[in-house]
Amino acid sequence: MILIHCPYCDQTLPELEFAYAGEGHIARPTDPSALSDEDWERYLFIRDNPRGRHHERWRHIHGCGRFFNAVRDTVTDKFEMTYKAGEPRQ
Amino acid sequence: MSAHRIAGLGRIDRSRTVTFTFDGKAMQGCPGDTLASALLANSVVLMGRSFKYHRPRGLLGAGAEEPNALVSVDRGGGRFTPNLRATAVEIYEGLNVRSQNRWPSLKTDFGAINDRFGRFFPAGFYNKTFMWPRSFWDKLYEPTIRRMAGLGDAPIEADPDVYAATYAHCDVLIVGAGPAGIDAALEACAARKQVILIDEQDELGGGALADPALWPWLESSLNDLAAAPNVTLLSRTTAFGFYHDNFIGAGQRLTDHLAEPGHGPRERLWRIRAGEVILAQGAIERPLVFAGNDVPGVMLASAARTYLVRFGVAVGDRVVLMAVHDSGWRDAFVLARAGMKIAAIVDLRAQVAPDLMAEAAELGVPVEMNSAVIGVSGRHAVTGAEIADSAGGNRHKIVCDAVLMAGGWTPSVHLWSHSKGSLAWSEEWGAYLADKPNENVRCVGACAGKWNYGTGVSIGALPTPDDPATIKAFVDFQNDVTAKDIALAVREGMKSVEHIKRYTTNGMATDQGKTSNLNALQLASGALDRPVQAIGLTTFRPPYTPQTFGMLAGDAKGALFQPTRKTAIDPWAEEHGAVFELVAQWRRARYFPQGGEDMHAAVARECLTVRSGVGIFDASTLGKIEVVGPDAAEFLNRMYTNPWKALEPGRCRYGLLLREDGFITDDGVSARLAPDRFHLTTTTGGAARVLNMMEDYLQTEWPDLDVWLTSTTEQYAVIALQGPKAREVIAPLVSGIDLSSESFPHMAVREGTICGVPTRLFRVSFTGELGFEINVPAAFGRYVWEQVWAAGQAHGITPYGTETMHVLRAEKGYIIVGQDTDGTVTPYDAALDWAVGKKKADFVGKRSLARPDIVAPGRKQLVGLLTDDPAEVLEEGAQIVADPRQPIPMKMIGHVTSSYWSATLGRSVALALVQGGHERMGETLHVPMPGKTIAAKVSGMVFHDPDGSRLNG
């Protein structure tokens, strides 16, 4: 069971307290109506799925309830870091 | 006499005897015996039948690697465990063991006919043979294969045992209490670390238990560790899996070795988080591949030594050793010094170290170098071995009753591999060793390739002058995979070890290739003419050895499998005879039968009573979210399809929630209580999902909005009072609220008191009748319910359940998200265009409503369906076709989502998702069912009171 550091609680806690929430840093466009179908499709459905460093979102759902960002290696399953929502991509 | 007990040897307690039964025959052993050693001491060498060919099998090993001697233990009363390795079963008084995979008996097994026709059962046999004709599969092939194949029987009674679980944390966790593990524990103990040392056997010591010279050291070391306050010793405990961040799962067997299982837990699941993990799992000796290597009495040399030294059992009177590694020689010398006759040491190598030759000469053991065993005689037990030199010459036979195999050693890197540590090929060991760690873990001792066993060679199969196509030389004993199966798999195009494994089944089942992987790799390497490293290694995965489902499940079974959520009114429903159903973990009253009514009669009566008088319904399970803050209206405006900013305090609105892809995910009626406060409701099953989705947007997309979300689902009991007499019933109970239609219209909310209890009183309806939803603090839920119930008596009130609620809402065409929608339905598909704010610049999902596929014609749309025969009630989920005369397979254009008998209308009503449904009004469609086809006309979705006059009464 992975240990995950919640950047809000500043505690490293078991994976069971957390929920995965998809790829990180995919901001909702401020004016979706201005987007072409292709751009909207890209926002909705197209994800990176890299082998290696992956930016992703987690929620401390059975703790403080906050969403935050993480960098996890998809090969080793190691968390490189976690940081608060809104902070720049690491 | 072959296998038998030798006086004066071993660690067993010879002062006492233990009686057990094997296939109904009573036998004696001693405390300290495993079932394997006790059976050998009783000269039993035939212990099981193989998986595929049903060949007679005996012990291969003495430990966790044993692939052959699998037995079932029946303690009675549902305590039945199949597929236990005889080497891991401790005997106790009354132990009742059955052999497996044989009928009618171990010695006479009809399934052994597979062995005689074995050439018709090559690798991939099932995949190739039972394909045609297709119709034979269900009735003939599958039942026959199921009867013949598989290991032991599954238990058929409920397991009466309880299982415990615990967490533990330590600085150092050591897996394996052999010499290397004990040394590591002593070192960590001296460094004042918190240490846990675990071992799968009943006795700690590992390999030291088969080496009397180490026994004094073992005793004093274990005494020191046992006395240390910072060390926890766990025996009978298997570390079965190594998970992320040094998290180890281990199963501790607490009562299986006791004559009385007692009242405590049978096993305990340990979930251990360790600062450092030290793997001292040792190494497993490798069998050799030659014809007849599975005859009972052919076993690993190290196992024979263990049976002798630890259990005082000789595996035979005249023993032949077949070695390619020095360690077997040393085992043979131990046997010889204990008085066992070593008929020959056969070694494939041209020469070995002079000291081995000298010791063999001193002990009078004949040695045959540059030679190999090419055959074994005997069926239920070894009677002799045939030997030839490596060129195939000098064929001769030796009479013997046991053949020992010394094929070198395979370090046990299973847990290391679970932890995703990398492996590196070692030519010296002919095996993979731990290389780069992925966790804070290291291997020590034999597990790390650090133990002086002497030297040897690695070889896939021993040379033989016989035609390899005619002999059975086993690689994987448990799965009956032979050398020629591996060769066949390669010939048929399997190049990767993963494909070879799956095609041949090598390395599968309960032993997970502990003794077979490396030999299979060597054989594949030879057949492919590529080095072993280029072929790879199958991935080891948990569990290391089989674990019980009972331990893994622990308390999570029966009533504790998942929580049953109950409302404050649930006990009243139970007292009044409700029939319940589970909805999203909530136990909900489905209907309230009276005087022997069936569901149909009860629901019809409840429906008619609501439509003509008044009914009371527990709606407490509705999801509720309190949305508070200056930006609350702005937030809801962005989340929901409809406009919220202009909603006045005191008014309600039906909210439709889409995902960003434009599909409906939830709905519910919500009220504005104040400019900065909303009382949201969600579907019963959607509450948690909706709150998560709203938190997500609020925290990550719009953190500038000043809004707070609080789940209040359990804070309120919700009593729905529905029907033309609803107002009359509550009028005497309500204070502070004008109930008149003028001041309290449909879709309004008021705060006041009912029966003296503060309430948020909603005038809303999911039935199409005049109705109220009375929200009161949950603690007062039953009290208010009973007061309303009492007040309703004069008006003929009835309680009703979810089934009646469903009929009533379907009559009005109100959808249930998740029943009438399936995650691919847009507001337009559901005819909910009116709930979409056309003037809104944006809301979640709005952009997607203009996606090409969403605006394309021919989408499945929600419509009503009225059967031509009004008495015919369609089945929910039934498929719909346009033309029932078209050939099969027909083109299905939709399916029925809701269907009920409407007592109010005296006919059936249904909702359905149909391609282009909104354009098909009045069209007759068809629902093919077994034996008949039902015709139905497409209609609008509102079947009752289409102008809504009853709502506003």
Per DSSP, what are the bridge partners of residue A70? A56, A82
Whole-number Å distance between alpha carbons of B9 and B7? 6
When pLDDT is averaged across residues B492-504 and rounded to a whole number, the result is 89
Contact B695 A67 (CB under 8 A): yes
Q: Which of B699, B839, B851 to mutate to test the interface with A (most CBs of A within 10 A)?
A: B699
Query: How far B701 CA sits from the closest chain A CA (Å)?
Result: 7
Q: Is residue A5 less than 8 Å (CB to CB) from chain B? A: no
pLDDT range class, residue B456, cuts 50, 70, 90: very high
CB B625 within 8 A of CB B737: no
Angle at the Cα of B828 (from B822 to B833), degrees rounded to 5?
125
**Residues of A with Cβ-Cβ distance to B852 under 8 angstroms:** 37
Chain A: closest CA distance from residue B421 (Å): 10
Distance from CA of B687 to the nearest CA of A (A): 14
H or E segment and range at residue B387? strand B384-389
Planar angle of CA B340, B346, B352, nearest 5 degrees? 105
B149 pLDDT higher than 90: no
Beta bridge partners of A54: A72
d(CA B51, CA B100): 10
Tell whether B840 lies on the interface with A, counting CB pairs under 8 A. Answer: no
DSSP-derived secondary structure for B734-749: EES---STTTS-TTEE
From chain A, the residues in CB contact with B848 under 8 A are 40, 44
Task: Tell me whether residue B503 is in a domain.
Answer: yes
* pLDDT for B1 beyond 60: no
Give the tokens for residue B60.
Answer: 């291969």
B692 with A28: Cβ contact below 8 A: no
Largest CA distance in chain B: 115
Q: Got the DSSP string for B698-720? A: IIII-TTS--EEEE-TTTEEEEE
Tokens of B296: 């009972």
Domain boundary among B250, B280, B310: B280
Do residue A2 and residue B245 have CB atoms under 8 angstroms apart?
yes
CA distances from B94 to B44, B237, B882 (A): 18, 23, 69
Q: Quick check: B814 and B766 in contact, CB under 8 A?
A: yes
Kind and range of the H or E run holding B3: none
A8 close to B (CB below 8 A)? no
Cβ within 8 Å of residue B597, ≥6 positions away? B605
A56-86 per-position pLDDT tens digit? 999 999 999 999 999 999 998 999 999 999 9
Say if CB B359 and CB B333 are below 8 A apart: yes
B705 and B627 together in one domain: yes
> Do B17 and B118 share a structural domain?
yes
Largest CA distance in chain A: 43
Q: Cβ–Cβ of A44/B848 closer than 8 Å?
A: yes
Together in a domain, B20 and B86:
yes
Taking the C-alpha atoms of residue B490 and residue B496, their distance in angstroms, rounded to an integer, is 9
Quote the pLDDT of residue B470.
87
A61: which chain B residues are within 8 Å (Cβ-Cβ)?
Answer: 692
Cβ proximity of A69 and A78 under 8 Å: no
Nearest to B847 among A21, A35, A85 (CB): A35
Residue B182 and residue B268 share a domain: yes
User: From start to end of B422-574, where are the E strands?
Assistant: 423-426, 431-434, 441-443, 474-476, 481-482
- The whole-angstrom separation of Cα B435 and Cα B424 is 6
How far does the CA of residue A29 sit from the closest CA of chain B (Å)?
Answer: 9
Taking an 8 Å cut-off on Cβ atoms, the answer to whether B841 and A33 are in contact is yes
Residue B761 near residue B751, CB atoms below 8 Å: yes
User: What's the whole-number mean pLDDT along residues B114-129?
Assistant: 63
What are the tens digits of pLDDT across the range B385-435?
999 999 999 999 999 999 999 999 999 999 999 999 999 999 888 899 999
Instruction: Look at residue B773 and tell me if it is in a domain.
Output: no
Give pLDDT, residue B535.
Answer: 85
**A59–B847 CB contact, under 8 Å:** no
How many angstroms away from the CA of B828 is the closest CA of chain A? 18
pLDDT of residue B620: 98
pLDDT at residue B380 greater than cutoff 80: yes
Rg (alpha carbons) of chain A, rounded to whole number: 14
Structure-derived torsion over alpha carbons of residues B514, B515, B516, B521, reported in degrees to the nearest 10 = 80
Distance from C-alpha of B832 to C-alpha of B829, rounded to nearest angstrom: 8
Establish if A54 touches chain B: CB-CB under 8 angstroms: no
| Radius of gyration, CA atoms only, chain B | 37
For B636-661, how does the pLDDT look when each residue is reduced to its tens digit (9 = 90+)?
999 999 999 999 999 999 999 999 99
Domains of chain A are 3-25+43-84 (3.30.2270.10)
B546 part of a folded domain: no
Q: Which of B668, B686, B711 is the last residue of a domain?
A: B711
Distance from CA of B717 to the nearest CA of A (A): 25
Name the residue among A1, A21, A28 with its Cβ closest to that of B243.
A1
Residues in B closer than 8 angstroms to A32, CB to CB, are 842, 846-847
Q: What residues of chain A lie within 8 A of the CB of B699, using their CB?
A: 66-67, 85
Residue of A17, A39, A44 to mutate when probing chain B, most B C-beta within 10 A: A44
Q: Which of B420, B703, B846 sits opposite A86 (nearest CB)?
A: B703
Look at residue B517 and tell me whether its pLDDT is greater than 70. yes
* Separation CA B599–CA B804 (nearest Å): 10
Check A33 against B420: CB less than 8 A apart.
no
**SS3 call for B258:** coil
Which tens digits make up the pLDDT trace of A9-61? 999 999 999 999 999 999 999 999 999 999 999 999 999 999 999 999 999 99
Q: At which residue do the structure tokens 């259990």 appear?
A: B311
> What distance in Å separates residue B849's CA from the closest CA in chain A?
10
Residue B807 lies in a domain: no
What residues are paired with B27 via a beta bridge?
A: B20
B877 lies within 8 A of chain A by CB = no
**Residues 6+ positions from B285 with CB-CB distance below 8 Å:** B61, B300, B301, B302, B303, B327, B405, B406, B407, B408, B409, B410
Cβ–Cβ gap B700/A57 under 8 Å: yes
Same domain, B169 and B266: yes
Residues B119 and B203 in one domain: no
The minimal CB distance from B420 to the residues A1, A76, A86 is found for A76
Q: Does ipTM exceed 0.95?
A: yes
Q: Which residue did the predictor score with more confidence, A73 or B141?
A: A73
Is B169 part of the contact surface with chain A (CB cutoff 8 Å)?
A: no
Domain count along chain B: 4
Q: On the CB side of B766, how many CA atoms lie within 13 Å of its CA?
A: 25
- On the question of pLDDT at B224 being above 60, the answer is yes
The pair of structure tokens assigned to B882 is: 């346009």
Interface contacts (A, B; CB < 8 Å): 56
B9 and B118 within one domain = yes
Q: Chain A contact for B891, CB < 8 A?
A: no
Residues of B with CB below 8 A from A62's CB? Answer: none
Beta strands in B888-941 (DSSP E): 894-902, 907-915, 924-929, 932-939
* Inter-chain residue contact B245 with A57, CB threshold 8 Å: no
Closest partner residue to B847 among A21, A33, A65, by Cβ? A33
Tokens of B583: 């909805």
Which candidate, B208, B211, B206, B214, places its Cα nearest to that of B235?
Answer: B206
Q: What would the mean pLDDT of B58-62 be, rounded to a whole number?
A: 97
CATH of the domain at B50: 3.10.20.440
For residue A19, what is the nearest residue in chain B, using CA coordinates?
B692
Are B534 and B634 contained in the same domain?
no
d(CA B758, CA B775): 9
Q: B301-311 vs B326-337: helix axis angle to the nearest 10?
A: 30
Report the residue from B420, B692, B847 with minimal CB separation from A40. Answer: B847
Domain termination residue (choose one: B668, B690, B711): B711
- Residues in A closer than 8 angstroms to B661, CB to CB, are 44
Q: How far is B507 from chain A (nearest CA, A)?
A: 25
The nearest CA of chain A is from the CA of B436 a distance in Å of 12
pLDDT band at B145 (very low <50, low <70, confident <90, very high): low
Do B701 and B643 belong to one domain? yes
Which residue did the predictor score with more confidence, B764 or B135?
Answer: B764
Kindly state whether residues B216 and B264 are assigned to the same domain. yes
Alpha helices in B322-469 (DSSP H): 326-337, 354-363, 414-418
pLDDT at B409: 95
Of all residues in chain B, the percent with pLDDT exceeding 70 is 96
* Number of CB atoms found within 10 A of residue B668's CB: 23
Q: Residue B121: is its pLDDT beyond 70?
A: no
Query: How far is C-alpha B880 from the geometric centre of its chain's CA atoms?
Result: 36
Instruction: Give the bridge partners for B175, in sequence order.
Output: B198, B279
- Asked if B245's CB is within 8 angstroms of A28's CB, the reply is no
Mean pLDDT of all residues belonging to chain B: 94
Q: Is residue B563 included in any domain, yes or no?
A: no
Nearest-angstrom CA–CA distance, B796 and B725:
9
Which residues in chain B touch residue A31, judged by CB atoms under 8 angstroms apart?
841-842
Residue B806's beta-bridge partner residues? none
pLDDT, average across residues B503-517: 87
Helical axes B483-491 vs B497-504, angle rounded to 10°:
120
Chain B interface includes A1 (CB < 8 A) = yes
The answer to whether residue B68 is domain-embedded is: yes
Q: Phi first, then psi: what are they for A7, rounded to 5°?
A: -70, -15
Q: Could you tell me the residue range of the domain that residue B233 belongs to?
A: 163-280
Strand pairing class (B708-711; B623-628): antiparallel
- In chain A, residues with a C-beta closer than 8 Å to the C-beta of B842 are 31-33
For B16-28, give one letter per residue: b (16+ CB within 10 A) or e.
Answer: eebebebeeeebe
Residues B211 and B275 in one domain: yes
Sign of CA dihedral B416, B418, B422, B423: positive
CATH number of the domain encompassing residue B267: 3.50.50.60
Smallest CA-to-CA distance from B310 within B17, B21, B36, B83 is with B36
Contact residues, chain B, for A63 at CB < 8 Å: none
Strand B748-754 relative to strand B734-735: parallel, antiparallel, unpaired?
A: antiparallel
Q: Contact A67/B842, CB-based, under 8 Å?
A: no
3-state SS, residue B193: coil
**B813-842 pLDDT, tens digit each:** 999 999 999 999 999 999 999 999 999 999
**Do B175 and B272 fall into the same domain?**
yes
Pick B851's closest partner by Cβ from A1, A15, A37. Answer: A37
Q: Nearest CA of chain B to the CA of A74: how many Å? A: 12
Structural domain includes residue B757: no
In a domain, B916, yes or no: no
**How far apart, in whole angstroms, are the C-alpha atoms of residue B305 and residue B296?**
17
Angle CA A41–A46–A48, to nearest 5: 160
